[in-house]
Structure 1
Amino acid sequence: MSTTTMHLRSPAELLAAVPYILGFQPTDSIVAIALKDGRVGLTARIDLPAPDHPERAVDALMPALLREEPDQVIAIGYGDSAGHAATVLDGFAAVLAEEGIGIRDRLLVTGGRWRSLECADPGCCPPEGTLLEQDESATAVASEFVGQGVAPLPDRAALAAQLEPTEKARLVGRLLDRPRPRRVLQPRVVAGIWARVLDPDEDPPELMAQDASWATRTLQDVGLRDGIIAWLTPGTLKPADLPDDVQAVLKLLGPAPHTSGDPSVDLRLRSRLVRLCTLLPDSHAAPALTVLAAHAWWHGNGALTRVALDRTLRCDPDYRLAQLLTLMVDQGISPTDR
């Protein structure tokens, strides 16, 4: 799994990084960040529960946190009402303490300001809070993410909207609704299709409807679907366990993208997978969405994994691989836990 090291030295810097870690600006949310050996681990977000049901934050977040076994947790509440978010943070912190998990900090973000509930010094944490944009080092953190080609969306709905079908999906749907060709595609043909779909160049050609439809047809073969996932997410599946024709396709595709050592390659591959999913109507989208979810999960992008799985299960509630990935995400299982 590719990683980028970044040192966060203050709550302001952490708060600047959270939208980039999640992929969108959190609002009306509780975010739990697990710390282990001084490193940021699991970052989980849920919608802020109703004021009369703060325990729902505990029910949603604790299973994954317990599995992570963190040394400490930072809990962040985002909301229009400081009292509402603070009440939920208090209940969440109490349960963490009962489980023997330390609280590094509880941060409250409201009205464009933040303050620490663990800090009673008004000189450090004024009661009215500190403007989020006030810290120059926080701006530097955001700039570092932007330099890596990462930018957060306004909210989770905007992230989910990126995976919805476009107008071109109607054309691809018509191609897919035609009778399935009787001939079996040779490995070199399948590899050629996927090489065009997953073109990692900085300025790749437009993904054509014909390629999108053929790639989607190939994913109806579970072995090939699993092979593409294995190629994109090394270590999740053993290539030797895949059918011979699938192994032939992977060999023709060449070295896996993670061997490039360039994180931007993975971002471009993700962008191509997202584009493929937007070209597919719901009736045909489940396999491609699950490939995208697996790729996002392997790279630690929980927000994209979730929205991809949400659309997958909307398209096909019985799609088994999506059900399995959803269970793994719910339980906080990371790729390294396999």
Structure 2
Amino acid sequence: MTNHSEATGSPENGDRADRGLEEALERSGVAGPAESDAPTPAHSDRDGDRPPPRPAPDISCTTSYRSHGDTQQVTLRSPAELADALPYLLGYRPEDSIVLVALHDKDGQGRFGGRARLGIPANRDDWPAAARQLAQGLVTGSARRGVRPEQMILFLCREPDPGGSGRQVKDHLAPLAHALRVECGALDVPVVEALCVSDGRYWSYCCDNQECCPAAGTPMGLAGTSVLAAAATYAGLQVRGTLRELRARLLPREGFATADQEAALDAAGLKLVPRILDEAGRATVADETLRLAERLLRRLAAAPPVSGALPSDLRDDDLIRHDEAATLILGLQDRTTRDRAAEWMEGDDAAPALRLWRALARRCSGPYGEHAAAPLTLAGWVAWSTGDELEAREALAMALGADPDYLFARLLHQACNEGLDPESVRRCLRSERSSRTGDSDGDSAVSGAGDGDSDGGRGRGGGAASG
């Protein structure tokens, strides 16, 4: 879950061009608004201010060592190990976040289940609603998959303001922790541990014993030293930094020729919008848009690799001219064209397609921010199709932030959050492509890397980017 999980539209807002992909998602079990948007029944705080019971001494989870073909059980025995393990449970380091982790009973120990994250609302008046949304979303989502949690672990992660302290953060967030414990308790899923992680320390909201949980907090220790961190490292699993770093790959960059890009979008709009609105011209614009996208996919695929996310993104930005980006951004506003572009979701097409959609999303600045919904949705779809659920959820949430009524993004976001298999959508897209081309396998857009690119792969600066 993300801050954008409440940003949804109505299924009736979609037009006929959405029906094929929407139906594929509905066949996957996704239909209508997400649980977090459903009306919440009233309930009472049955436990009042009485804290839930302390956890059992051991909380265990399992992690799979794919490189070795077996499964090992890892046991976490302290709040410190829980706090250090959090980035490995999520796959990234949470910032300014509420994180709920479900526990399932196994032989008297807790076994980690589903996780849900929500940004901490800036307005304290929004905390009760956020607590309700997060608790109900995780419990009902887990129950739908047949694994209703028995207990919860809560993490509140926030760094102090300049001049502030972690203890101040802990005290400030105490009402939020209480609201979350109440909401989980009302669902008969008690919070057995609630930790505030801030400024290199952690505090427990469930224990006031000064011997084990001092008021000054407990130092976290060296990051990555828990048994789960060691197991994850041994298994080849990596923590991907923060969500802020991931989102930066999808947001317009300051100082990146914003005025020039907006001028190119203005010019492209004058040429393309009348043609898109014309029934006869719409198909022609779609073909031109897709041919241009294919050329850019080949250009990106042929570019020399570079190491690091930022250098890679800068290289891709230099490979795409402003007029090319503007033409694609506006062309993808036609949903039939967007659905055709969504077919580049696997094999050799997937990696350059994801790079292209990221680069286009970064060009949607200023008054064109809403236009980012299409490339962000495509980026989220390709990420989900290729197994990267973290980037998929964030890209789709950002698409809903750009346009809350973007139906394809909303359904994909819900499906990804529900842990559904994207294969049903892939089958739908393969079927559409084969019925159109008569080719059951379909042609890769990058199979002839470098062919048909009239400018020879030259970027907006006039020369090929070398990385």
Q: Normalising by the residue count of structure 2, what TM-score does the alignment of the two structures yield? A: 0.51
Offset, 1:278? 0.9
Instruction: Quote the Cα distance in structure 1 between the aligned partners of 2:221 and 2:302.
Output: 38
Q: Tell me if 1:289 matches 2:379.
A: no
**Equivalent in the alignment of 1:306:** 397
Instruction: Quote the Cα distance in structure 2 between the aligned partners of 1:308 and 1:17.
Output: 30
Taking a change above 3 Å as real, the CA distance of residues 193 and 146 of structure 1, as seen in their structure-2 partners, is: same
Deviates more, 1:110-119 or 1:135-144: 135-144
Offset, 1:45? 1.5
User: In 2, are the aligned partners of 1:93 and 1:103 still within 8 Å (CA)?
Assistant: yes
Taking a change above 3 Å as real, the CA distance of residues 231 and 46 of structure 1, as seen in their structure-2 partners, is: same
Instruction: Quote the Cα distance in structure 1 between the aligned partners of 2:81 and 2:358.
Output: 29
User: In 1, are the aligned partners of 2:170 and 2:203 still within 8 Å (CA)?
Assistant: no
User: In 2, are the aligned partners of 1:16 and 1:139 still within 8 Å (CA)?
Assistant: no
Taking a change above 3 Å as real, the CA distance of residues 57 and 121 of structure 1, as seen in their structure-2 partners, is: same
**Equivalent in the alignment of 1:83:** 171
Picking from 274, 277, 282, the partner of 2:358 is 274
User: In 1, are the aligned partners of 2:201 and 2:220 still within 8 Å (CA)?
Assistant: yes
Residue type at the aligned position of 1:226: D
Picking from 32, 43, 64, the partner of 2:137 is 64
1:215-226 counterparts in 2 under 5 A? 215-226=328-339
**Equivalent in the alignment of 2:98:** 30
Q: Tell me if 1:164 matches 2:252.
A: yes
User: In 1, are the aligned partners of 2:85 and 2:224 still within 8 Å (CA)?
Assistant: no
Residue type at the aligned position of 1:30: I
TM-align CA RMSD: 4.4
Offset, 1:16? 4.1
Offset, 1:31? 2.0
Offset, 1:208? 0.9
Offset, 1:99? 1.4
> What runs of 5+ residues in structure 1 fail to find an aligned partner?
235-253, 258-264
Instruction: Quote the Cα distance in structure 1 between the aligned partners of 2:179 and 2:228.
Output: 33
Q: Normalising by the residue count of structure 1, what TM-score does the alignment of the two structures yield? A: 0.66
Offset, 1:173? 1.7
Instruction: Quote the Cα distance in structure 1 between the aligned partners of 2:296 and 2:130.
Output: 44
Taking a change above 3 Å as real, the CA distance of residues 51 and 171 of structure 1, as seen in their structure-2 partners, is: closer
Residue type at the aligned position of 2:241: A
Residue type at the aligned position of 2:196: L
User: In 1, are the aligned partners of 2:250 and 2:376 still within 8 Å (CA)?
Assistant: no
Taking a change above 3 Å as real, the CA distance of residues 192 and 270 of structure 1, as seen in their structure-2 partners, is: closer
Offset, 1:18? 4.4
SS in structure 2 of the partner of residue 179 of structure 1: helix
Instruction: Quote the Cα distance in structure 2 between the aligned partners of 1:92 and 1:291.
Output: 34
Offset, 1:139? 11
Offset, 1:64? 1.3
**Equivalent in the alignment of 2:12:** none
1:1-338 counterparts in 2 under 5 A? 9=76, 11-16=79-84, 18=86, 21=90, 25-27=94-96, 29-35=97-103, 38-48=111-121, 54-65=127-138, 66-69=140-143, 70-71=148-149, 72-78=151-157, 80-119=168-207, 122-134=210-222, 137-138=225-226, 141=229, 144=233, 148=238, 150-152=240-242, 159=247, 163-164=251-252, 166-168=256-258, 169-170=261-262, 172-174=264-266, 176-180=268-272, 183=284, 184-185=287-288, 190-196=293-299, 202-203=305-306, 206=316, 207-209=319-321, 210-232=323-345, 255=348, 257=350, 270=354, 272-281=356-365, 282-283=367-368, 284-295=371-382, 299-301=388-390, 302-310=393-401, 312-313=402-403, 318-325=405-412, 328=414, 332-336=417-421
Offset, 1:47? 1.4
Offset, 1:41? 2.4
Query: Aligned pairs, how many?
Result: 297
> What runs of 5+ residues in structure 2 fail to find an aligned partner?
1-62, 66-73, 159-167, 276-280, 307-311, 425-467
Residue type at the aligned position of 1:176: A
User: In 2, are the aligned partners of 1:198 and 1:272 still within 8 Å (CA)?
Assistant: no
Taking a change above 3 Å as real, the CA distance of residues 271 and 22 of structure 1, as seen in their structure-2 partners, is: farther
Instruction: Quote the Cα distance in structure 2 between the aligned partners of 1:324 and 1:118.
Output: 37
User: In 2, are the aligned partners of 1:16 and 1:138 still within 8 Å (CA)?
Assistant: yes
Taking a change above 3 Å as real, the CA distance of residues 82 and 199 of structure 1, as seen in their structure-2 partners, is: farther
Offset, 1:137? 0.5
Offset, 1:89? 1.7
Offset, 1:125? 3.5
Residue type at the aligned position of 2:193: D
User: In 2, are the aligned partners of 1:23 and 1:303 still within 8 Å (CA)?
Assistant: no
**Equivalent in the alignment of 1:249:** none
Taking a change above 3 Å as real, the CA distance of residues 336 and 213 of structure 1, as seen in their structure-2 partners, is: same
Query: Deviations along 1:217-254, whole A, 9 cap, x unmatched?
Result: 5423423422443543x7xxxxxxxxxxxxxxxxxxx5
Structure with bigger gyration radius: 2
Residue type at the aligned position of 1:300: E
**Equivalent in the alignment of 2:309:** none
Taking a change above 3 Å as real, the CA distance of residues 188 and 286 of structure 1, as seen in their structure-2 partners, is: closer
Query: Deviations along 1:95-132, whole A, 9 cap, x unmatched?
Result: 31231224342112244310333456655433422223
User: In 2, are the aligned partners of 1:78 and 1:109 still within 8 Å (CA)?
Assistant: yes
